[in-house]
Amino acid sequence: MSDRDLAVRREAVYRLLEAIDVVEPSRAVLTRAAQPLPTELGTLDAIHLATALLWHEGSGAELVMAPHDGALSTAARACGLRTIGAP
Protein backbone atom coordinates (compact mmCIF):
# COMPACT_ATOMS: atom_id res chain seq x y z
CA MET A 1 0.00 0.00 0.00
CA SER A 2 1.38 3.38 -0.93
CA ASP A 3 1.87 6.15 1.63
CA ARG A 4 -0.88 8.14 -0.11
CA ASP A 5 -3.37 5.27 0.09
CA LEU A 6 -2.50 4.71 3.74
CA ALA A 7 -3.00 8.40 4.51
CA VAL A 8 -6.40 8.42 2.80
CA ARG A 9 -7.55 5.37 4.74
CA ARG A 10 -6.26 6.70 8.06
CA GLU A 11 -8.06 9.98 7.45
CA ALA A 12 -11.31 8.09 6.80
CA VAL A 13 -10.90 6.13 10.04
CA TYR A 14 -10.22 9.29 12.05
CA ARG A 15 -13.31 10.98 10.59
CA LEU A 16 -15.40 7.96 11.52
CA LEU A 17 -14.01 7.91 15.06
CA GLU A 18 -14.86 11.61 15.47
CA ALA A 19 -18.50 10.77 14.73
CA ILE A 20 -18.69 8.07 17.41
CA ASP A 21 -19.65 8.77 21.01
CA VAL A 22 -17.90 6.54 23.54
CA VAL A 23 -20.09 5.83 26.55
CA GLU A 24 -18.54 4.42 29.71
CA PRO A 25 -20.50 1.69 31.51
CA SER A 26 -22.19 3.26 34.52
CA ARG A 27 -24.47 2.06 37.28
CA ALA A 28 -27.43 3.34 35.21
CA VAL A 29 -26.31 1.23 32.23
CA LEU A 30 -25.83 -1.89 34.33
CA THR A 31 -29.17 -1.38 36.08
CA ARG A 32 -30.94 -0.99 32.71
CA ALA A 33 -29.15 -4.06 31.33
CA ALA A 34 -30.41 -6.11 34.29
CA GLN A 35 -34.04 -5.21 33.50
CA PRO A 36 -36.17 -7.42 31.25
CA LEU A 37 -35.55 -6.89 27.55
CA PRO A 38 -37.85 -7.85 24.67
CA THR A 39 -35.67 -10.78 23.59
CA GLU A 40 -33.12 -13.02 25.28
CA LEU A 41 -29.59 -11.61 25.31
CA GLY A 42 -26.30 -12.45 26.91
CA THR A 43 -24.80 -10.09 29.47
CA LEU A 44 -22.52 -8.14 27.14
CA ASP A 45 -25.22 -7.72 24.50
CA ALA A 46 -27.64 -6.52 27.20
CA ILE A 47 -25.05 -3.95 28.29
CA HIS A 48 -24.58 -2.77 24.69
CA LEU A 49 -28.33 -2.46 24.18
CA ALA A 50 -28.88 -0.72 27.52
CA THR A 51 -26.13 1.76 26.68
CA ALA A 52 -27.71 2.51 23.31
CA LEU A 53 -31.18 2.90 24.80
CA LEU A 54 -30.03 5.23 27.57
CA TRP A 55 -27.95 7.30 25.16
CA HIS A 56 -30.90 7.58 22.78
CA GLU A 57 -33.32 8.51 25.57
CA GLY A 58 -30.91 11.07 27.02
CA SER A 59 -29.88 12.74 23.78
CA GLY A 60 -33.05 12.45 21.72
CA ALA A 61 -30.79 12.07 18.69
CA GLU A 62 -31.27 9.39 16.08
CA LEU A 63 -29.26 6.30 16.84
CA VAL A 64 -28.18 3.62 14.39
CA MET A 65 -26.69 0.48 15.90
CA ALA A 66 -24.27 -1.74 14.03
CA PRO A 67 -24.62 -4.94 16.07
CA HIS A 68 -22.23 -7.82 15.61
CA ASP A 69 -24.86 -10.55 15.60
CA GLY A 70 -28.49 -11.31 14.88
CA ALA A 71 -29.61 -11.59 18.52
CA LEU A 72 -28.51 -8.05 19.39
CA SER A 73 -29.90 -6.73 16.11
CA THR A 74 -33.28 -8.34 16.79
CA ALA A 75 -33.42 -6.98 20.34
CA ALA A 76 -32.43 -3.48 19.21
CA ARG A 77 -35.11 -3.45 16.53
CA ALA A 78 -37.66 -4.73 19.06
CA CYS A 79 -36.78 -1.69 21.19
CA GLY A 80 -37.39 0.63 18.25
CA LEU A 81 -33.78 1.25 17.28
CA ARG A 82 -32.54 1.26 13.70
CA THR A 83 -29.80 -1.24 12.92
CA ILE A 84 -27.38 -1.88 10.07
CA GLY A 85 -25.14 -4.82 9.37
CA ALA A 86 -26.19 -7.98 11.20
CA PRO A 87 -29.42 -9.68 10.13
Q: Kindly tell me if the per-residue pLDDT of 86 is higher than 80.
A: no
pLDDT, tens only, 15-58: 988 888 788 889 999 999 999 999 999 999 999 999 999 999 98
pTM of the model: 0.75
Residue-level pLDDT at 23? 82
DSSP 31-72: HHHHS--SS---HHHHHHHHHHHHHHHHH----EE--SSHHH
Q: Kindly tell me if the per-residue pLDDT of 68 is higher than 80.
A: yes
| Domain assignments of the chain as residue spans, ordered by start | 23-83
Q: Kindly tell me if the per-residue pLDDT of 78 is higher than 90.
A: yes
